[in-house]
């Protein structure tokens, strides 16, 4: 399997974004922007102090946010990987690929739920066996670790999920096999990709919170209209996150082009 250099792909990503920014940025803002706004509203509806059974319906906005993001990944992947494709054609092809993408995503979720269910059953049996022993707490921690590790492995290996679904006409099972096979010899590099964009996500969040947050608070005090300033800050935050999603999608699409 072909290897790739994180640094080389990063340079290609920067060059591609500079060259195609007039095409990609409006598309990213139009798709990833609403996804980020919906996610923000969903998170705002999460109350960790709420009693069980009193979930806020606002949290359900996370589902359409995920659908918007998935669609955006398909569209951007097509714009990167298909020479000369128009935005309209990319949007249309992404719509046709979307049902397969949802089905494949559900297959991944089924695997996750299967792992979680197996661990819950094992944890329940273990606690029943050792409930009067000091080993019970350690057993629970061990089983929690055992469910987290496989999930992290799946997330890492699913790095090329979007470009494979966008570019290849495969059913859910075949698509998952293809995604898994493409990353077989590049697991460490895939970990590096996730770490890179996790770091960039932290940087963007810090800039938004410490820099823009402080500026907008001062502006709100100056003009005396905190609601308008809050809306502007929310839109700017969504735009920043959309640009991060754009960069990550382009980067992953270029990795796919090298490996496929």
pTM, two decimal places: 0.86
Q: What is each CA distance from 169 to 10, 67, 144, in whole angstroms?
A: 28, 20, 37
Residues whose CB is less than 8 angstroms from the CB of residue 24 and which lie 6 or more positions away in sequence, other chains included = 17, 76, 79, 246, 250
Mean per-residue pLDDT of the chain: 85
Per-residue model confidence as pLDDT tens digits over 144-159: 676 778 788 888 999 9
Res 51: pLDDT: 46
Q: Are 139 and 123 in contact (CB under 8 A)?
A: yes
Per-residue model confidence as pLDDT tens digits over 35-86: 999 988 888 765 555 544 555 677 888 899 999 999 999 999 999 999 999 9
What would the two tokens of residue 31 be? Answer: 């798709």
Res 104: pLDDT: 92
Res 192: pLDDT: 93
Res 30: pLDDT: 95
E strands in 8-60: none
Domain ranges of the chain: 6-43+56-107+159-259
Q: What totals of helices (H) and strands (E) does the chain contain, helices first? A: 9, 0
Q: Residue 3 above 80 pLDDT? A: no
Q: Are 90 and 96 in contact (CB under 8 A)?
A: no
Q: What is each CA distance from 17 to 12, 21, 95, 137, 250, in whole angstroms?
A: 9, 5, 24, 50, 8
The whole-angstrom separation of Cα 47 and Cα 29 is 28
Q: Are 62 and 38 in contact (CB under 8 A)?
A: yes
Per-residue model confidence as pLDDT tens digits over 171-209: 899 999 999 999 888 999 999 999 999 999 999 888 888
Instruction: Give the whole-number percent of the chain exceeding pLDDT 70.
Output: 84
Res 54: pLDDT: 55
What one-character DSSP code corresponds to residue 51?
P
Q: Residue 123 above 90 pLDDT? A: no
Q: Are 187 and 211 in contact (CB under 8 A)?
A: no
Q: Residue 110 above 60 pLDDT? A: yes
Res 149: pLDDT: 80
Q: Residue 133 above 80 pLDDT? A: no
The whole-angstrom separation of Cα 212 and Cα 236 is 9
The whole-angstrom separation of Cα 203 and Cα 230 is 21
Between the two ends of the chain, the Cα-to-Cα distance in Å is 9
Q: Residue 138 above 80 pLDDT? A: no
Which region among 89-98, 125-134, 174-183, 207-216 has the lowest average model confidence (pLDDT)? Answer: 125-134
Q: What is the CA radius of gyration of the chain?
A: 21
């Amino acid at each position: 399997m072909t290897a790739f250099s994180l640094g080389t792909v990063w340079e290609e990503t920067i060059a591609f974004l500079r060259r195609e920014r007039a095409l990609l940025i409006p598309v990213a803002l139009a798709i990833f922007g609403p996804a980020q706004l919906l996610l923000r509203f969903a998170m705002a509806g999460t109350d960790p102090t709420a009693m069980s059974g009193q979930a806020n319906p606002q949290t359900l906005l996370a589902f359409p946010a995920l659908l918007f993001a998935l669609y955006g990944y398909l569209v951007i992947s097509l714009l990167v990987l298909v020479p000369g494709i128009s935005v309209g054609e990319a949007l249309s092809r992404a719509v046709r690929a979307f049902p397969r993408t949802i089905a494949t995503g559900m297959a991944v979720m089924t695997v996750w739920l299967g792992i979680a269910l197996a661990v819950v059953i094992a944890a329940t049996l273990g606690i029943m066996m050792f409930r009067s022993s000091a080993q019970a707490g350690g057993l629970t921690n061990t089983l929690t670790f055992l469910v987290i590790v496989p999930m992290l492995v799946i997330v890492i290996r699913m790095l090329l999920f979007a470009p494979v679904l966008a570019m290849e006409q495969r059913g859910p099972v075949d698509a998952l096999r293809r995604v898994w096979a493409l990353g077989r010899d590049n697991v460490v590099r895939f970990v590096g990709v996730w770490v890179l964009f996790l770091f960039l996500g932290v940087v963007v969040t810090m800039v938004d919170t410490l820099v823009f947050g402080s500026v907008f608070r001062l502006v709100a005090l100056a003009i005396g209209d905190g609601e308008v300033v809050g809306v502007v800050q929310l839109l700017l935050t969504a735009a920043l996150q959309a640009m991060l999603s754009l960069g990550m999608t382009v980067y992953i699409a270029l990795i796919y082009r090298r490996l496929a």
